[in-house]
Amino acid sequence: MNRDTPELLIITATYNEAENLPILASQVMKLGLPANLLVVDDNSPDGTGQIADELAQQTSGGVRVLHRSGKLGYASALREGFALGLQDGYRVIMTMDADLSHDPTRIPALYAATEHHDIAIGSRYVPGGGTENWPLSRIVLSRTASALARLLTGLPVRDCTGGFRAYRKEIIQKADLLDSSTEGYSFLMETLFKCHRIGASVCEVPIVFHDRQRGQSKISKKIIFEAGWVLLKLFWCRLTGKATPSGDALHTAE
């Protein structure tokens, strides 16, 4: 571990977020936290990767960049970010979207919650949380996914599918979160499932989710289908108690 490594790593996966990334980086840097913002970019055709490099220079390394060769998926971007975070010795690792749907002013609350919990989830579905400007179709999709995930996995969490989270580094290691082959948002359900199975303490911090104002959504039918499939596999794991979707042995609580 480098002794200059700050406590907190905030990972944001980017694919064509050229308009959003400079705003996000400036809002995160303004918080004045002991944090690095890690941009994991998949060679975005709109030049997000180059913008990230410029931001890294302007912030003297406050922003860090991981370039990948092409569009390898949201989940694997987060996993590579986790791997770098563990390797470099950050104490807390956060994830958030780059499209400003996740409000950076909630970062301090999530970070503070890791003082007492292994994972802090930015939650739309607890008092004080919510969504803004979301079309009815997205509200229905998200609410249904969260309710189904809760029912089938038994997770005691109201918002299982949001990607604005803070993890203590130890829980990423103990729950083996790098061992997964999911591509999209199902990774978020899978990570919670794995953490819950080893007795992680989880809390939900209210957030208001804002619909993206710039750029395009990357959510696809394939990713929605994957989420349904992973959910069924998690249900099966819950029933049998034998294995997680990636096939690794289940851990028991310590």
Ligand X SMILES: Nc1nc2c(ncn2[C@@H]2O[C@H](COP(=O)(O)OP(=O)(O)OP(=O)(O)O)[C@@H](O)[C@H]2O)c(=O)[nH]1
- Of residues 133 and 144, the one with the C-beta less far from Mg ion: 133
Give the contacts of 120 (CB within 8 A, at least 6 positions apart): 109, 110, 111, 113, 114, 165, 166, 202, 203, 204, 205
| 190 lines the binding site for ligand X (CB under 6 A) | no
Contact 39, 123 (CB under 8 A): no
SS3 call for 134: coil
Among residues 15 and 193, whose Cβ is nearest to ligand X? 15
Q: Is 101 in the site for Mg ion (CB under 5 A)?
A: yes
Residue 98 interaction partner, one of Mg ion, ligand X, none, beta carbon < 5-8 Å per kind: ligand X
Residues near 171 by beta carbon (within 8 Å), at least 6 away in sequence: 118, 119, 177, 195, 200
* Span 36-55, contacts to ligand X by CB under 6 A: 40-42
143 makes contact with ligand X (CB under 6 A): no
Selected from 99, 118, 204, 226, the binder of Mg ion by CB under 5 A is: 99
Q: How far is the CB of 203 from ligand X (least distance, A)?
A: 22
The window from 2-10, 35-43, 83-91, 189-197 that contacts ligand X (CB under 6 A) reads 35-43
**DSSP-assigned beta bridge partners for residue 14:** 41
Count of positions on this chain that bind ligand X (CB under 6 A) = 20
Q: Does 17 bind ligand X (CB under 6 A)?
A: yes
100 or 171: CB nearest Mg ion: 100
Crossing angle between the packed helical segments 74-88 and 186-197, to the nearest 10 degrees: 50
Largest CA-CA distance found in the chain, in angstroms, rounded? 52
Helix (H, G, I), strand (E, B) or coil at 18: coil
Cβ 240 to ligand X shortest distance, Å: 30
Q: Which does 17 bind (CB under 5 to 8 A by kind): ligand X, Mg ion, none?
A: ligand X
Q: Give the burial class of 253: count Cβ atoms within 10 A of its Cβ; 0-12 exposed, 13-18 middle, 19 or more buried.
A: exposed
* Residues 185/73, Cβ–Cβ less than 8 Å: no
x/- binding map, residues 79-108, to ligand X, per CB under 6 A? ------------------xxx-x-------
Size of the site for Mg ion (CB under 5 A): 4
Q: Which does 49 bind (CB under 5 to 8 A by kind): Mg ion, ligand X, none?
A: none
Residues 231/149, Cβ–Cβ less than 8 Å: yes
Q: How far is the CB of 51 from Mg ion (least distance, A)?
A: 18
Cα separation, 111 vs 164, in Å, equals 11
Restricting to residues 193-232, which ones interact with ligand X according to CB under 6 A?
A: 212, 217-219
Is residue 13 at the binding interface for ligand X, with CB under 6 A as the rule? Answer: yes
Structural Rg of the chain based on CA atoms? 17
Classify the C-alpha dihedral 174-62-72-183 as positive or negative. Answer: positive
Positions touching Mg ion (CB under 5 A) are: 97, 99, 101, 212
Positions touching ligand X (CB under 6 A) are: 12-15, 17, 40-42, 71, 73-74, 77, 97-99, 101, 212, 217-219
